[in-house]
Structure 1
Amino acid sequence: MRTISRRMADLAQSEIRAMTQACASVKGLNMAQGVCDTPVPPIVLEGAEKAIRDGYNVYTRFDGLPELREAIAGKLAHYNGIEADPETQITVSAGATGAFHCACAALLNPGDEVILFEPYYQYHISALVAVEAVPVPVRMQPPAWTYSLPQLEQVVTSKTKAIIVNSPGNPSGKVFSRAELETLADFACRHDLFVMTDEIYEYFLYDGRRHVSMASLPNMAERTVTIGGYSKTFSVTGWRIGYSVAAQPWARAIGAMNDLLYVCAPAPLQMGVARGIRELPDSFYSNLAHDYQRKRDKFCGALIKAGLTPTIPEGAYYVLANVSRLPGDTGKARAMYLL
């Protein structure tokens, strides 16, 4: 009998996508998927349009156009405190999710255990399962989404290969402080672990918070894979322009996997993003955070008024709320009731 692969049997459609489809079927208001409602910066659109006219319509190098890799390297030095060689350490991929999948496929073996914090981004789990790694969740406690070092020590084993840090977090909105990251860095060094960071929401920071990249901490650049992208920052979720940054041996493996899975990211869209990185002023990013904080406050106020008490996010643009007063035995059942 012809059947789907065992690997596919272990995967399920993202609840985000399932809820989006359910919402569309009843013509509801979709609050399930991270679709930006802000316009694309004109300079980014103009950069992509010009690239199309200028002939950037064929394959790029597997790790992206030099213009984009160099722009990312400059931004990493300026904003993240990370020094990266654009020729050997940066891989442009099909969105941050694609970059993360390439890193997992390149660096993890079947059976390797990977620690991640719950609540987690579902695609992180899916990527781990797809490469037959073993996700090991550590539950954080609301409302501040705290955890303890003993929780980490309890789950680490001889099979543990990596730990995932998502800051600002999807869906918790947690922003890891420098002190928390330093504790995790020490933990990773003691147990010789990779750290995979998802920093896609690095500019979505509220109440005066600052973003700290794990790879900027002492002795962490060699063991950290930094994942980022511009889907959210430039409101181009459909363009699929993300990247990873890693030490040269790991970047070489990630780049080879990126070539196998995606060949390259869309060429003219790479140029549009590169122009945005180079030419948009710092005020663009501070205004972005200000505008989203205003939306956060308005939305959380509405949830409180509705009796669905939220945990106030420190970053990103998702809100988790207490829905226990709604009918249903599970979170999904209550979400369907609300829909």
Structure 2
Amino acid sequence: MSLNPARTPVPISRLPHVGTTIFTVMSALAAEHEAVNLGQGFPDFDCDPALVDAVTQAMRAGHNQYPPMPGAPALRQAMAAKMQALYGLTCDPTTEITVTAGATQAILTAILAIVQPGDEVIVLEPCYDSYVPNIELAGGVAVRVPLTPGSFRPDFDRIAASITPRTRALIINSPHNPSGTVWSAADMQHLQALLAPTDVLLISDEVYEHMVFDGQAHQSVARFPGLAARAFIVSSFGKTYHVTGWKVGTVVAPAALMAEFRKVHQFNVFTVNTPMQHALAAYMADAAPYRELPAFYQRKRDLFRGGLAATRFRLLPGEGTYFQCVDISNLAVPERDLPEADFCQWLTKEIGVAAIPLSAFYGNGFDQRVVRFCFAKKDDTLREALTRFARL
């Protein structure tokens, strides 16, 4: 017997406007044309072998059954120590930290925990592509506020004007994907003052917290009491330790918010891969890997930016993350006038390097002649891409 599509009931889509993501499309195109894939944001190099060994040790030690729903106590304790050491935030690992199946699940769970049908949630565009669908799945209304084109800095006047009695939450992301912009202490203080007279909650996506360059410090929401008191702070072990496929992250939040978060979490994923939690906890005993990460990625950024400077791409600032945005307006090829998405397809097929159009991060497809590259790659991979750019 075979399936008969004619007899399959057709559900009403919860996300009728959502299709295959641009990341999947461009990665498939890159593979088809044997292009250097600087589109999707993941490393093409291995993690520290000691971290892999720690997973094996955890498995051999018997850590193979369900851990507690909020996460292995050892990992929550390690995360609490890190928050105190880096940001001066004292949090209770028992009631204020939960281990998640990556940052994407963390963000969805936070939204489902706090957003009621009809609530408004402000997102700052361009933004990571899961935010708006998450809000819609909760029955909320996404209120899109653009970051300043070109600099991608927050426009606090526009944010303030977007807050209404129905505003339930604001999502921020620093260091910022896709632009690489990093919020300053002054930005955070401005936001703290703006939200102080409101009951608006905050979801702070800080997955690139250890990729801040040129001597800057990451200004976590955890550093600002008025923000930390209303925030879900989202972190990613996958980004920090080059293990994006492990899908392990954490959320830090005040106990009252975390209680609601865990109500959803326990019926969403319930808990997260046990041996990897124990391995990460053991590995975190040495702070050197995450403390050395800014220098590690700054060197890659500088290598890549140095090569791009010899092309007709116009470099945008790259203050953090492992992404570099460029303006394509000055290229000496007629294809520069294509829409960003079409240009990225052409670049992949004809030049052999895959990128992501910034328009994919806007709800209205705003096209400003900017594309994004990922430089979380081996040096040889970056050099090969730069060699191919010489054809432009």
* Structure 2 residue 112 is matched with structure 1 residue 121: no
Residue 234 of structure 1 corresponds to which residue in structure 2?
Answer: 241
Q: Which runs of 5+ in 2 are unaligned?
A: 1-7, 349-392
- Selected match of 2:345 from 324, 330, 336: 336
2:184 and 2:220 mapped to 1: Cα distance?
10
8 A Cα contact 2:206 2:233, kept in partner: yes
Residue 354 of structure 2 corresponds to which residue in structure 1?
Answer: none
- Selected match of 2:298 from 290, 293, 317: 293
Residue 11 of structure 2 corresponds to which residue in structure 1?
Answer: 4
- Selected match of 1:306 from 305, 311, 319: 311
8 A Cα contact 1:117 1:139, kept in partner: yes
Q: Deviations over 1:165-196 (max 9, x none)?
A: 11111111111111101111121222321111
Alignment of 1:14-163 (within 5 A): 14-163=21-170
- Selected match of 1:281 from 280, 287, 295: 287
- Specify the code of the residue in structure 2 equivalent to 1:288: L
Alignment of 1:120-269 (within 5 A): 120-269=127-276
8 A Cα contact 1:44 1:273, kept in partner: yes
Q: Deviations over 1:255-294 (max 9, x none)?
A: 121111112111001111111212x233x33432112111
**CA separation of 1:259/1:162 partners in 2, compared to 1, >3 Å: closer, same or farther?**
same
- Specify the code of the residue in structure 2 equivalent to 1:305: A
- Specify the code of the residue in structure 1 equivalent to 2:204: T
The alpha-carbon deviation at position 215 of structure 1 amounts to 2.9
The alpha-carbon deviation at position 303 of structure 1 amounts to 2.6
The alpha-carbon deviation at position 336 of structure 1 amounts to 0.7
8 A Cα contact 1:43 1:275, kept in partner: no
8 A Cα contact 1:228 1:244, kept in partner: yes
Q: Deviations over 1:236-261 (max 9, x none)?
A: 10111101111112111211211111
1:9 match: secondary structure? coil
**CA separation of 1:334/1:132 partners in 2, compared to 1, >3 Å: closer, same or farther?**
farther
Aligned residues: 337
- Specify the code of the residue in structure 1 equivalent to 2:294: A
**CA separation of 1:308/1:4 partners in 2, compared to 1, >3 Å: closer, same or farther?**
farther
Q: Which runs of 5+ in 1 are unaligned?
A: none
Deviates more, 1:138-147 or 1:258-267: 138-147
The alpha-carbon deviation at position 100 of structure 1 amounts to 0.9
**CA separation of 1:39/1:12 partners in 2, compared to 1, >3 Å: closer, same or farther?**
same
8 A Cα contact 1:73 1:84, kept in partner: yes
The alpha-carbon deviation at position 222 of structure 1 amounts to 2.2
1:311 and 1:98 mapped to 2: Cα distance?
30
8 A Cα contact 1:327 1:337, kept in partner: no
Deviates more, 1:131-140 or 1:66-75: 131-140
- Specify the code of the residue in structure 2 equivalent to 1:269: M
The alpha-carbon deviation at position 38 of structure 1 amounts to 4.0
1:150 and 1:212 mapped to 2: Cα distance?
21
8 A Cα contact 1:91 1:243, kept in partner: yes
The alpha-carbon deviation at position 154 of structure 1 amounts to 2.2
8 A Cα contact 1:202 1:211, kept in partner: yes
The alpha-carbon deviation at position 131 of structure 1 amounts to 2.1
1:134 and 1:319 mapped to 2: Cα distance?
31
- Specify the code of the residue in structure 2 equivalent to 1:281: A
2:37 match: secondary structure? coil
Residue 353 of structure 2 corresponds to which residue in structure 1?
Answer: none
2:173 and 2:74 mapped to 1: Cα distance?
27
The alpha-carbon deviation at position 37 of structure 1 amounts to 3.4
1:196 and 1:271 mapped to 2: Cα distance?
26
The alpha-carbon deviation at position 219 of structure 1 amounts to 2.7
Residue 383 of structure 2 corresponds to which residue in structure 1?
Answer: none
Aligned-CA RMSD value: 1.7
1:32 and 1:128 mapped to 2: Cα distance?
25
The alpha-carbon deviation at position 322 of structure 1 amounts to 0.8
1:336 match: secondary structure? helix
2:76 and 2:291 mapped to 1: Cα distance?
23
The alpha-carbon deviation at position 333 of structure 1 amounts to 1.0
Q: Deviations over 1:54-77 (max 9, x none)?
A: 111111111111111111111111
1:226 and 1:261 mapped to 2: Cα distance?
19
8 A Cα contact 1:188 1:195, kept in partner: no
The alpha-carbon deviation at position 142 of structure 1 amounts to 4.5
2:14 and 2:294 mapped to 1: Cα distance?
40
1:109 match: secondary structure? coil
